[in-house]
């Protein structure tokens, strides 16, 4: 009996242990789910993922599936856990009787204003699948252009980072050797050489392991406080003006802004969104104060019975070609078609500009790197070139 009782006690203890482990795993799973649900409320969906979601949803709707079933299928196949929760909440909201547009509006970080407004237009017209297909094409074109610009920026960022690293190495390890040699000359050093030696001494005087990071910390400080200033209305206005007028990249930024303005406007107008609401969305999607100001002016002018082309003609941000094409579109009743052609034209121009900049940036950066490193080397060898005069005090 004692043996049976002992065995029974051990089995009970094992069951309790298993129940305890199960309870711990359940609690961990619940805690993880709560954390994901909290994160999903402010989850920012990348534009590329939104384009894929929109394309797949439009395809499923075109195939004749109900909206709730489409969302359920997309929820099951998505690998992003946060976005899966977002789709689940949208699906449950629709199942409870709310509209698709009101459901997605609760997640502004995942679904932008353009997506929500196009869904509203699709619900009103009964052509949600067709409108979502247009939005998907717009998102895909935006992602494609953004990737090309980022690809063009990768090389210069890498070269500038290499230049910063080289300057740090020269200042901390190489220049002190020359400084010790020049100290025996007993004469005044050339100004460039003295400046580099003083800068090297300053970096070496920093606390241990921090001297080499001085330039990076300074760059971070500029980035941080610059970001704070840019978030102010005046700072944002100054930034956008500078970006458009900047050498080399300013022309590209200007063309991208014009392309986004025209394509967003054309997509919304073609989908049946009212013009004043269209201008609100275009203004929010532009991310440029010049276009925001123009949209406000256009909305005021149109509400008084004016034409869009009249405002564009008086605004220096928009080129003459665009003004004439919009005016021709208004005369023929095909403004959205003209805007689409303008957007296609500027997309081609952007691709050509990116290709040209990619081939031009490489030699420019090589020259820049050569000037920076070569300037430091020349400054340190300048006293050696003047060794006789410096050592003998002849000058």
| Mean pLDDT for all residues in the chain | 81
Interatomic CA distance for residues 118 and 269, integer angstroms: 10
Q: Where along the chain do its domains lie?
A: 47-111, 140-395
The CATH number given to 47-111 is 1.20.81.30
Range of lowest pLDDT (112-116, 149-153, 269-273): 149-153
What average pLDDT score do residues 259-288 get? 85
In this predicted structure, the answer to whether residue 390 has a pLDDT above a threshold of 50 is no
Angle between helices 335-385 and 320-332 (to 10 degrees): 170
In this predicted structure, the answer to whether residue 18 has a pLDDT above a threshold of 70 is no
Could you read off the pLDDT of 54-90 as tens digits, one per residue?
999 999 999 888 999 999 999 888 888 888 889 999 9
Q: What is the pTM of this model?
A: 0.67
Provide the pLDDT for residue 395: 46
Contacts of 318 (CB under 8 A, 6+ apart): 258, 294, 312
Could you read off the pLDDT of 151-162 as tens digits, one per residue?
777 877 888 888
Which range of 31-40, 175-184, 332-341 scores highest in mean pLDDT? It is 332-341
In this predicted structure, the answer to whether residue 207 has a pLDDT above a threshold of 60 is no
What average pLDDT score do residues 243-261 get? 85
Could you read off the pLDDT of 147-202 as tens digits, one per residue?
877 777 787 788 888 887 888 788 778 888 888 777 776 667 788 888 888 888 87
Q: Are 106 and 119 in contact (CB under 8 A)?
A: no
Provide the pLDDT for residue 69: 92
Domains 47-111 and 140-395 share a fold: yes
Q: Are 341 and 325 in contact (CB under 8 A)?
A: yes
Interatomic CA distance for residues 144 and 151, integer angstroms: 11
Provide the pLDDT for residue 22: 66
> Where does the pLDDT of residue 356 fall: very low under 50, low under 70, confident under 90, or very high at 90 and above?
confident
Q: Are 266 and 340 in contact (CB under 8 A)?
A: yes
Percent of the chain with pLDDT over 70: 85
140-395 maps to CATH 1.20.81.30: yes
CB atoms within 10 A of CB 57: 25
Provide the pLDDT for residue 4: 52
What average pLDDT score do residues 11-16 get? 59
Contacts of 12 (CB under 8 A, 6+ apart): none
What average pLDDT score do residues 358-376 get? 81
């Amino acid at each position: 009996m004692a043996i049976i009782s002992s065995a029974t006690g051990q089995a009970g203890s094992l069951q309790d242990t298993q129940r305890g482990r199960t309870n711990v795993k359940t609690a961990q799973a619940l805690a993880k789910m709560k954390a994901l649900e909290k994160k999903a409320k402010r989850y920012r969906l990348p534009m590329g993922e939104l384009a894929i979601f929109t394309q797949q949803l439009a395809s499923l709707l075109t195939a004749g599936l109900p909206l709730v079933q489409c969302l359920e299928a997309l929820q099951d196949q998505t690998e992003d856990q946060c976005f899966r929760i977002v789709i689940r909440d949208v699906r449950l909201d629709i199942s409870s009787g709310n509209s698709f547009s009101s459901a997605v509006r609760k997640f502004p970080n995942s679904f932008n204003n353009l997506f929500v407004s196009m869904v509203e237009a699709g619900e009103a017209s009964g052509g949600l699948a067709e409108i979502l297909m247009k939005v998907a094409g717009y998102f895909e074109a935006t992602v494609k252009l953004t990737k090309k610009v980022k690809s063009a920026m990768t090389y210069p960022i890498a070269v500038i980072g290499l230049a910063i690293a080289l300057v740090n190495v020269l200042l901390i390890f190489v220049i002190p050797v020359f400084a010790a040699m020049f100290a025996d000359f007993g004469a005044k050093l050339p100004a460039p050489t003295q400046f580099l030696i003083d800068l090297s001494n300053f970096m070496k005087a920093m606390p241990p392991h921090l001297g080499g990071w001085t330039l990076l910390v300074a760059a971070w400080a500029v980035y941080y406080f610059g970001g704070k200033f840019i978030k102010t209305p005046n700072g944002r206005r100054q930034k956008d003006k500078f970006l458009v007028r900047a050498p080399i990249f300013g022309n590209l930024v200007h063309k991208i802004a014009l392309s986004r303005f025209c394509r967003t406007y054309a997509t919304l107008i073609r989908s049946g969104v009212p013009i004043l609401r269209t201008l609100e969305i275009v203004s929010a999607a532009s991310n440029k104060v010049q276009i925001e100001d123009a949209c406000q002016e256009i909305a005021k002018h149109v509400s008084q019975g004016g034409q869009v082309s009249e405002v564009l003609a008086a605004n220096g941000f928009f080129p003459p070609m665009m003004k004439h094409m919009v005016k021709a579109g208004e005369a023929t009743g095909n403004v959205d078609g003209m805007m689409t052609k303008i957007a296609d034209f500027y997309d081609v121009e952007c691709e050509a500009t990116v290709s040209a900049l990619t081939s031009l940036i490489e030699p420019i950066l090589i020259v820049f790197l050569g000037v920076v490193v070569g300037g430091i080397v020349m400054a340190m060898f300048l006293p050696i070139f003047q060794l006789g005069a410096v050592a003998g005090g002849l000058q």
